[in-house]
Amino acid sequence: MSQRLLIIVTWIGIVILSLTLRLQNLEKRPIHADEATGARILARQLAGEDYQFDPQHFHGPLLSLSSLPIARSRSETSWSELSTTTLRLGAVIAGLLVVFTPLLWRRSIGPWGALAAAALLASSPLMVYYNRMYIHESLLTLCDAGLRSSLSPQSTTE
């Protein structure tokens, strides 16, 4: 087996591991208070209301705006139709994309270093835990990882 094929197969395995850990029984855990707050904001937007920032709750629009297409694609258009899985899918997707961020560093850490970093991100208990909750942290982590990768001097070489 060539090294390139081995790297591709390993990446596929990491993606499968990441998705398995994040999607398994996604709807089983009860909704946390922060998730309910985000769901309420999303339900209001699905009902056609404009987003209004509430400084007492500190919840910005990123979470609900990223969830709107997921809810609509699953034909969930109201508070009563929203499922736990729909709410948490955005965080799962963001978490999976974070697992791919080491690809942006492979020139500086090499293909095996990128695979090792991705495997650690895919299986990290804290990453998995937060990537299964309808809260902003997964999206913010993705934005931070992408921004840091684009600003690093290693990503602009060659």
pLDDT tens-digit series, residues 75-96:
999 999 999 999 999 999 999 9
Distance CA 133, CA 34 (A): 9
Which of 45, 33, 141 lies closest to 90, judged by CA? Answer: 141
Q: Is residue 99 one of the residues assigned to a domain?
A: yes
Give this prediction's pTM: 0.88
Q: Is residue 71 one of the residues assigned to a domain?
A: yes
Instruction: Look at 57 and 148; give whichever has higher pLDDT.
Output: 148
Q: Is residue 158 one of the residues assigned to a domain?
A: no
> Domain of 67?
11-21+31-151
Task: Categorize the per-residue pLDDT at 157 as very low, low, confident or very high, splitting at 50, 70 and 90.
Answer: very low
Instruction: Look at 55 and 3; give whichever has higher pLDDT.
Output: 3
Q: Is residue 86 one of the residues assigned to a domain?
A: yes
Mean pLDDT in residue range 18-28: 96
Count of structural domains, the chain: 1
Task: Categorize the per-residue pLDDT at 57 as very low, low, confident or very high, splitting at 50, 70 and 90.
Answer: confident
C-alpha pair distances (Å), 9 with each of 4, 6, 19, 120: 9, 5, 15, 17
Q: Is residue 135 one of the residues assigned to a domain?
A: yes
